[in-house]
Amino acid sequence: MPRLVVAAPSSGSGKTTVATGLMAAFAERGLAVSPHKAGPDYIDPGYHALATGRPGRNLDAFMCGPELIAPMFAHGAAGCDLAVVEGVMGLYDGAAGRGELASTAQVAKLLRAPVVLVVDASSQSRSVAALVHGFASFDPQVRLGGVILNKVGSDRHEVMLREALEEAGMPVLGVLRRAPQVATPSRHLGLVPVAERHADALAAVAALAEQVRAGCDLDALMALARTAPPLSCEPWSPAGLDVRSGQSGTSGSRQRPDPASPAFEARGPGQPPGSGAAPYGRPVVAVAGGAAFTFSYAEHAELLQAAGAEVVTFDPLRDEALPEGTGGLVIGGGFPEVYAPELSANAPLRAAVSAFAAAGGPVAAECAGLLYLARSLDGKPMCGVLDADARMSERLTLGYREAVAVSDSSLAAAGTRLRGHEFHRTVVEPGAGAAPAWGFTHPERRVEGFVRQGVHASYLHTHWAAEPSVARRFAQAAAARTAAVRGAAAARP
């Protein structure tokens, strides 16, 4: 699989501009391009998906473990002509205090992929060679294949930069001139997601493709991508066991769960498993989407489907009822704080969510989902599932976390260990319920989140590929809820 990692010396150098532009430019050539993002970010992959027509996928070695990076890459890139991986922060920046863990450099090494370094050249000339030399020599196992110079001021400036890099023996694969920024508006947590500005985002991606096509040597970049050697791993499979179980974690390591098995079998009152009752079919797991809930990893839906569930998306801004037959509810991250008045105004759906939770329905809520389940958000009534109130905060909470499940829930058995990340500018008071969701063990020790009946709600974003048992557990809870509701309905005269 030809592949490139797009990195930079630091954030703000132009990685997203170049990576998204490259994806779109190669896709315009008729290539099937697989888009990837190092790290946990949800927003950039949305732009990658627009550029390529394929799901943007994250490669996070902290949350999923280094051993899953190549298999997950192979899963996402299957059948493609080229893969482009956008890095995170600076090339060698990773999890605080953990060396190279979760850095772009580590991902590049695990994928045996050449790195293209995007350099903001706006305030330097010959010094660019020293900068690039340092990055190229810092870790000999990282193969720096060339440079794309960003924010170059003039023809003369370009000549000086090229001469310096020629002395250093580093190929220049592209030059992007200093120009007005393509319209990619930002706010308190980064770029505005694609779902909130789809038409404008399409235009922005087309403009990025034009910039990259005009300034970069696409043939040379493709030739560099083809120097990546074959990967020896098997692709990750949502039907497979995870590596922490001691199995391979790749395709073929576990049979796909059978929706007709006892876990998914619909039975009448008093009927034991395997009694021959006709199955009700796959349980419906409703996943919140739309402009307010845009944060989700593609593998989560794949894992739920592999566990026997039917995944149906609904929009809490527009839909006044949960999808028909909902047996489980997933409310991921996003920006409910931006849409609090509109979410609050949808009283029928708030009541439906509240009733579903009160009846013991399984609910998995992360960050934005936590806010939506609270009594209020910035004074606006929300679903009232949790005895807590949420508000915006000036303080950014950001970073990786190591956590253990404190309470048994529809999502995780007590004692389940996961790694995740927090990323928000809101506060929920209180921060934990009588039965907390997680106990954080690193970087600080505290309890967080809420478990109440079937509800698991927390600020922690997790990647279920690291622990597929959570998806299976949740799908089984959804199936049990569906069987109970339909069994009760069948028993009524």
* Catalytic annotation, residues: 367
Rounded CA gap, 447 and 441, in Å? 9
What angle do helix axes 198-215 and 15-28 make, rounded to 10 degrees?
A: 90
Residue that has been written with the tokens 């770029």 in this structure: 191
Rounded CA gap, 331 and 262, in Å? 27
Closest to 484 measured CA to CA, from 367, 328, 374 = 328
- The three-state DSSP-derived secondary structure of 383-419 is CCCCCCEEEEEEEEEEEEEEEEECCCCCCCCCCCEEE
Rounded CA gap, 344 and 192, in Å? 21
Backbone angles phi, psi at 296, to 5 degrees: -160, 145
Closest to 162 measured CA to CA, from 175, 153, 143 = 175
The long-range contacts involving 439-448, CB below 8 angstroms and separated by at least 24 positions, are: 439/403, 439/404, 439/405, 439/406, 440/401, 440/402, 440/403, 441/402, 441/403, 441/404, 442/401, 442/402, 443/96, 443/97, 443/399, 443/400, 443/401, 447/406, 448/403
Rounded CA gap, 121 and 151, in Å? 6
Residue that has been written with the tokens 């772009």 in this structure: 104
Q: Dihedral, CA atoms, 292, 294, 295, 299, nearest 10 degrees?
A: 140
Rounded CA gap, 218 and 43, in Å? 25
Q: Which amino acid is at 83?
A: A
